[in-house]
Structure 1
Amino acid sequence: MSSIKIESIVRESSRCGESPVWEEKSNSLLFVDIPSKKICRWDSLTKKVQEVTVVCVFEITDSAVSSVAIRQSGGYVATVGTRFCALNWEDQSLSDLGAVDKDKKNNRFNDGKVDPAGRYFAGTMAEEIAPAVLERHQGSLYALFPNGTVKKYFDNVDISNGLDWSMDHKIFYYIDSLSYSVDAFDYDLQTGKIANRRSVYKLEKEEHIPDGMCIDTEGKLWVACYNGGRVIRLDPETGKRIQTVLLPVEKTTSCCFGGKDYSELYVTSARDGLEPDKLSRQPEAGRIFKITGLGVKGIAPYAFAG
């Protein structure tokens, strides 16, 4: 086993970095800073970060941007407030693709990801009073289909979070953070239907809150543990944790594989909610980390087909 190396790649700290996505054609890592309303792109060649502040380009909302994904036809899609949006990176223009939770003024989207058929899945939650403190059971899971329709899957969600699909596309993995569980559903790729929800892993006390998640080519799940300062590797078939990678920050939020052969694990983190004494002990809180030497690879992200 080669030795694992962890390094921070972006000097600027995010208040709450989230939704890392590797974009192969630009050798870049996309991510968002939720409360700062920014969509960012870190160029792995120049090491520079470009950013779009969503509040400036979208007059009708003053809402957090919570996830970003690649769009097949060019540009990106993002979840902003309670809207699915399309972003033209060149002119920084944002267009509305559909709104949800119209009866819940205090809600916003959280994590989102595109499935292997090009549907953009994302779930909602109530706005937080403090990190992970919020009105319970207010969220739902949705998907934006390539034809523009928005489908609601289920409600009663606390904090809709990490999501991914098995290598054979027959299982959908999902995290509702405050259930402290990684769940699985049977998945029908043709229709996008889900069924038979079950828990495949319950988090240990020291792992704290499950947040963002991704899958590797061996079908194992990597879960970022908010307040746990780690990412864990799980076997969803046995329900066992295989590996723990500790990071120098407490609020690890999400992860994705990237780099030229998808052997690098990128991990986002947050600094919001840290007391001053903790911040002083975690100078890298809110940064993005690259982990190499894991000996496993991920897969390229799917692109929204609409």
Structure 2
Amino acid sequence: MATTDRQAATLALAHALSAAERGLPVFPLSATKLPALRSPHRDEHPPVLCRGACGLPGHGVHDATTDPAAVRALFAAAPRATGYGIACGRQPHRLIGIDLDIDTTHGNDSVAALRQLALQHLFTIPPTVTVLTPSGGRHLWLTGPPGASVPNSAGRLAPGIDVRGAGGYLVGPGSVTTHGRYRLAPGTAHLAPAPCPRGLLRLLTTAPRPRRSTAGPAPSGRQARQGQGLVQFVRAAHEGQRNTRLFWAACRAYEHGFGDDLADALTEAAVATGLTEPEARATIASAARLTTRRPNP
């Protein structure tokens, strides 16, 4: 292994141990931000659903631990790790990550979107740990109350805002990826993760309620052509724009009165680009809620 690789691995372990000392469960990541250890069940058929019960490493976020000896063992088994993940939703902090992406290509401002949500739902984001990402985005660290389970979501609150909750993880500050280094924002290194505001917590824990389809006339030929165009628009999305394109297309479909009819086709198109079906459904439901609140004049 090259000297630079060894240095990156050594620094990653040091940062991970420091995080573990603060009660944050950690595990090694590769430069692609994925778990650095391969699954011990990768060659088993049929596939085995195991979350670490077998006792072997290689279960991603389920390997996360605060025990220094266990952290060292994980990194020893993953000598090419260049970063570390922090498991969300786990004791004692019950970490919630608000991932604010930057998409200058489509003019999406996730910071402004979060500010608008705060105004609408009467909450304020308190000073808290903030991690700057290589792409120009930021991760806000918040803590959840006992008994609250925050699900992972992508674009559910607004385009460009992803949420990391139970079963998810954040890339820890000091990690090095193929796109650069994650680092603490100036002025936040001394802070502890702040409690999640109640108004925001309600948004994060309330399941979206998709609109019910109502009986009505079949879509016209013009609507069918528009719908096909929107589906193709979603299918052409590249990584980094999948949620944005899906949300935009779903909003246009609901604004023109055939959103429910097109929801399945949009979901299928989004899944084909790499989103999961729950993520796609959540984004479409968010578009439905937005257009319901703000109908066309």
Asked if these proteins are the same fold (TM beyond 0.5), I'd say: no
Structure with more relative contact order (C-alpha pairs < 8 Å, separation 6 or more):
1
Higher percent of residues as helix = 2
TM-score by length of structure 1 reads: 0.25
Higher radius of gyration, 1 or 2 = 2
Q: Hey, which of these two has a bigger chunk of strand by percent?
A: 1
TM-score (norm 2): 0.25
